[in-house]
Amino acid sequence: MIRYVQISRRKRGGVFSAFATVFAALAPMGAQAQTVANDPAGSGPIVAALGWLQGTLLGNVATAVAVMAVAAVGFMMLTGRLNWRFGATVIIGVFILFGAGAIVSGIQQAAVG
């Protein structure tokens, strides 16, 4: 009898924690609705470094390297030296790299409303 009560309490605790988790995920929060108009104070060097990184990853040099990589992968796939699955992974990775701005703006649009 005592063992039955202990198991019953555990199950109730699990159901309660699952309900609390679902409620917390679905409850609107004021912090999510707010947007920061400007960069936070003291973030100038970080923003500049990330701007440099973005320019490097999406600039002319990166575009030339990506074109050569896709051409090399395509040639190796054409001649049978490279697995098609690996080649497709490389090409999809390039699309994600150069489409990152559009992907992020799409996610932001979906999050806003």
Convert the pLDDT of each residue in 29-50 to its tens digit.
544 445 555 777 778 888 889 8
pLDDT exceeds cutoff 70 at 106 = yes
Q: How far apart are CA 79 and CA 26, in angstroms?
A: 52
Alpha helices in 1-113, H assignment, sequence order: 2-26, 30-33, 44-58, 60-78, 84-98, 100-112
Read off the pLDDT of residues 10-28 as tens digits, 9 standing for 90 and up. 455 554 455 455 444 444 4
Q: How far apart are CA 55 and CA 44, in angstroms?
A: 16
**Residue 91 token pair:** 């090409």
